Amino acid sequence: MYLIKIITNGVVINLASISDLVLIPGRNVIVVGNDMLYYPVFTEDGYNGSLKLMKVEFFKEIAIDHVTPMKELLTKHSNMLPKLKAITDLLKNHGVSGTGKELLKSVRRAGNTLIETEVLGLNDIEELKIELEFLDSFSEFQLMDWRENLKKNKKK
């Protein structure tokens, strides 16, 4: 089970440790802990990382964000991820590029080509699984205002 942190006033609560998430549109997001106490929810500021009260109109404006960006994890642990790097290199060599829908289309085309040529053997699959589980061990998430999450992604 993944840890999804909710930052409150001085306390970090795991999503699994709350009984309710309350939205007061245009005002605040509040969690009700299993202790039946009410806690205001804070979001990380996308530019400077400081904390501020989360104010959203709709639940869909709350993002689940990686605490440590995946790109940072991949870079930091690249020496432990040779199969993932090999797949990334193969995808790049097959013209995977772009963003958004263009990226998805190019991944789909390249992925189909790679699958048809049986680039990955059974041993490779097992090693890739181990690498992905290694990455998973660093996965930690937090609730964040989606606008702040976009700012955070733009500054990187």
Please tell me the predicted confidence (pLDDT) of residue 76.
Answer: 94
91-120 pLDDT, tens per residue? 788 777 777 788 888 888 777 776 666 566
24-62 pLDDT, tens per residue? 877 899 999 888 889 999 999 988 989 999 999 999 999
Please tell me the predicted confidence (pLDDT) of residue 118.
Answer: 58
Please tell me the predicted confidence (pLDDT) of residue 117.
Answer: 62
Residue bearing the bigger pLDDT, 92 or 122: 92
Cα distance between residue 23 and residue 10, in whole Å: 20
Alpha helices in 18-97 (DSSP H): 70-76, 82-93
Helices 100-116 & 82-93 angle (0-180, nearest 10): 100
Pick from 65-74, 75-84, 98-107 the range whose average pLDDT is largest.
75-84
